[in-house]
Chains A and B, each alone.
Chain A
Amino acid sequence: MCMALASVLLGWLNLDAESAGYVWGTALPRVLPTTLILAVVVPALAGVLGVAAAWLVAVHEFPGRRLLEALLIVPLAIPAYLLATVYIGWLDYAGPIQTLLRAWFGQGAALPPIRSTGGAAITLALALYPYVYLLARGAFATQGQRALEVGQSLGMSRWQGFWRVGLPLARPWIAGGLLLVMMETLADFGAVAAFNVDTLTVSIYQAWFALFSLPTALSLASVLVLVAAVVAAAERRTRRQRGYTAAGQQARRVHLHGAGAWGATVALGTLATVAALAPITQLLVWAAQHASDFDTRYWAFASHSLSLSAMAVGLLLAGALALAGLQNRAGRAGHLLARIAQSGYAVPGAVLAVALFTPLAGLSNAFNAATPADWAPILLHTSLATVLLAYATRFMTVASQPIEAGQLRITPALRDAARSLGLQGSRLWATVHLPLLRPAILGAALLVFIDVMKELPMTLMTRPYGWDTLAVRVFEMTAEGEWERAAVPGIGIVLLGLLPVAWLMRSSDPSGATDAA
């Protein structure tokens, strides 16, 4: 990660005055407001959707709750650029909905333009809210009965209880989710490009691909890193002194009745339909229209996607746990190291890949030049290890956020008790931390698995020969604008992404938890 960051910063040294002057002087002032609007509005929308949905499913009972609880995670598995393509396909002037409106109400009938900053914000929020939902749901489910009872005993209504107790106690989780949403928004290229909304990331690619100035692109990327780091640090500062441990046993669900119950079902059902079911149906229809594209190679693509994701999960979980351990003992330096390791998420994948790739290629070259000519040349920059390293630099924060938040629920007494019994080091971790972090670890695993499954630019650039994945397949289709054909591999990503969603739902099923606990 440090190497990649250094590469990004090296961009500053190689700036060519002309391109840099143009981008920083002309393009940046135009894209920066849009970028900031998206960076604020998308997390805000995703936060409202995610927290409200999480609160409903985590502490209430209503018809269809179990099914909705799972369905609401599903948009996570749909790449944002595919969701954007689907929505634009439906809602643009030439799409079926506006065509129908014109047929019914005459030529003047129109929706607000979907290809706009607003359209992009809503789409990104619908694609990204599961990050908040997933984390907040875990927090609400584990905050303990006692906290809510204290609220009730102080005369708070359920609504006040949510604002005064539930929300504050879940804050690190929600903040972690919002941070992920914000960084993902900053780094997004595919979705905003589909809306032709210009953000900083678009400018980065513009500088690189159109102006042929990679250093300018890297210098712009460092701005993204900075923004992400500042926001993350600010968030941490405000919650430094507080405790977030759980009190009491797992809360019992509040049974909703009548209008409240059906209201919850309808509201969440609508969200699940708009963000997951309908887009997936559309992808399935498109995929069916291009079913002839599907051949036996797809088994290999799927298998590559699956194994890369699985390996990345293993690597990143180990890394995130190590970082968590480091932060526990190493104080300031550990925190700094953790922050650095986590800042990659706000950088567009292609930029991060090239930042990682260039020094590695240089290293390979140096090694190959120094070794006898008949030695097989090594290709450090395109190897399985590099792909995984690239994932690690980009997705470390995805693994870390849930685990760091989960640690806050471990009461100091539990740690002390174990220490007084002579447990230390790895045993302490294995006996106390890991089991108590289990929900957080599963959540992190799910996020990483799906994110890696969707990841494209880094896989494309650093994969070893022959390692084509479903996401690479999507690229092959979309490179020539065949978005609907991309539905074939796209739906594959969604289906594989659903596997761990189903897994997570099973293992975090409250009934399953109580019969053993």
Chain B
Amino acid sequence: MRLELDGVEKSFDGKTVLSGVTLTVADGELACLLGPSGCGKTTALRLLAGFEQIDAGSIRGGGQILADTQTHVPAQRRNIGMVFQEHALLPHLSVAANVALGLRSMDAKARAERVDETLSLVGLTAWRDRYPAQLSGGQSQRVALARSLAPRPKALLLDEPFSNLDVTLKEHLLYEVRDILRQAGMTALLVTHDQHEAFALADKVGVINAGAIQQWATPYDLYHRPANRFVAGFVGEGVLLAGQRDADGRVTTELGLLRGEQVGTEDKEVDVLLRPDDIIHDDASPLCATVVRKAFRGAQILYTLELASGARVLSLVPSHHNHRMHEPIGIRLATDHVVAFARHRVERG
């Protein structure tokens, strides 16, 4: 089911939480709202679910008005499922009973079948008679997911569902959840502060900050074509480096001429975004920079390098190139996109 927010506003006790939020999740799309804590993303989700009422704007589901200034379809009639950060399993009900919660209209046989079907979808058939207290974090997350999917909602909302899980479990579960949602053909909107979750799961990601959508795009575009400094800084790593645009419209920096697709402002004086993968270690390059910090990441090392001007850039290098601190190493540019922002002040990503 297509989900649309149009100019949605919401404030609590006079404090604006969302201002003019507009976004669309296409039918069958997996989307994500990404933002720092307190940015309003959970509120957006709760408005969609129907737990809160909007102040202005409108919310549609499959073209039908779910909420505007006159209408408020209550949560229980929106047919939109929700998975909570706390998982919110009812402690007094077994796994199967929790999953069956939303299946009241079915007869007993159909209900049992649907419970088994959903439990096997999340791989927990063997746990059907356990109680929530007996489950691990990952298991209860999957039960929560199964419970939301069981009534075949038209859309699913996930509120930081992986934030209570450990990293390896999270990785594993992320792809599992994505596959489950894809298999179910589900329209889903996830809320998270973790871009890895967002990138792993979502077709489209909306970066949200200070109650407004900063950019609504594919993960690739968010990373490579950020719409503003906030997005550039929040998504991925990188630095901004001063540059000038020449008569041909190309940008030159301390590191030389930048090649690739031009993104962003056409001002003369700009800051350009340089991602760690835009700068490649090359012993043969005449351009040198000094290692001032290194972070070992297994297959790669993330070097922070100081240029002659004192400006710093990041470079992601295969980890067999293990340089010492303060060692000068050769680098060269390998940009595909040149992301430029108007230079109004120095800002570090």
Contact = CB atoms under 8 A, between A and B. Distances in A.
Interface of A: 249-250, 411, 413-414, 416-424, 427-428, 431-432, 435-436, 438, 514, 516-517
B84 A413 contact: yes
A84 to B, nearest CB: 42
Given A419-B75, A421-B147, A517-B133, A411 B86 contact: yes
Contacts, number: 78
Given A249-B133, A413-B86, A416-B84, A422 B92 contact: no
Contacts of B61: none
Given A411-B88, A413-B88, A423 B101 contact: yes
Interface of B: 46, 49-51, 74-77, 79-82, 84-86, 88, 90-93, 101-102, 104, 131-133, 144, 147-148, 151, 157
A422 B88 contact: no
Contact of A438 (B86, B88, B92): B92
A411 B132 CA distance: 15
Contacts of B132: 517
A436 B49 contact: no
B91 to A, nearest CB: 6
B92 A436 contact: yes
A416 B147 CA distance: 13
Contacts of A423: 76, 101-102, 104
B84 A422 contact: no
Given A411-B88, A431-B101, A416 B76 contact: no
Please provide the 9 A-B residue pairs with the shortest distance between their CB atoms, ordered closest to farther.
A421-B102, A417-B88, A420-B82, A413-B88, A435-B92, A419-B75, A424-B76, A413-B84, A422-B76
Nearest to A438: B92
Nearest to B150: A421
A419 B84 CA distance: 12
A516 B101 contact: no
8 contacts: A250-B133, A416-B88, A417-B147, A420-B51, A421-B76, A421-B102, A421-B151, A427-B104
Contact of B101 (A418, A424, A517): A418
Contacts of A514: 133
B91 A517 contact: yes
Name A's interface SS: helix
A302 B38 CA distance: 61
B256 to A, nearest CB: 52
A420 B75 contact: yes
Contacts of B148: 420-421
Given A421-B102, A431-B101, A517-B133, A416 B92 contact: no
A436 B93 CA distance: 10
A420 B76 contact: yes
Contacts of A432: 90
Contact of A420 (B81, B86, B91): B81
A516 B131 contact: yes
B104 A422 contact: yes
A422 B79 contact: yes
A422 B82 CA distance: 11
Contacts of B50: 419-420
Contacts of B80: 420
Contact of A422 (B86, B90, B91, B102): B102
Contacts of B88: 411, 413-414, 416-417
Contacts of A417: 82, 84, 88, 144, 147
Given A419-B75, A421-B81, 8 more contacts: A416-B46, A417-B144, A418-B90, A420-B82, A421-B148, A422-B76, A431-B90, A431-B101
A414 B76 CA distance: 14
Contacts of B82: 416-417, 420
A250 B132 CA distance: 12
Contacts of B77: 422
A422 B101 CA distance: 9
A365 B144 CA distance: 61
Nearest to A431: B101
Contacts of B49: 416, 420
A418 B51 CA distance: 11
Given A413-B86, A417-B88, A422 B151 contact: yes
Task: Name, among B80, B92, B93, B102, the residue most crowded by chain A CB atoms within 10 Å (CB to CB).
Answer: B92
B214 to A, nearest CB: 27
Contacts of A416: 46, 49, 51, 75, 82, 84, 88
Contacts of B76: 419-424, 428
A466 B93 CA distance: 46
Nearest to A423: B76
Nearest to A428: B76
In this complex, which of B74, B75, B104, B131 has the most chain A Cβ atoms within 10 angstroms of its Cβ? B75
Contacts of B147: 417, 421
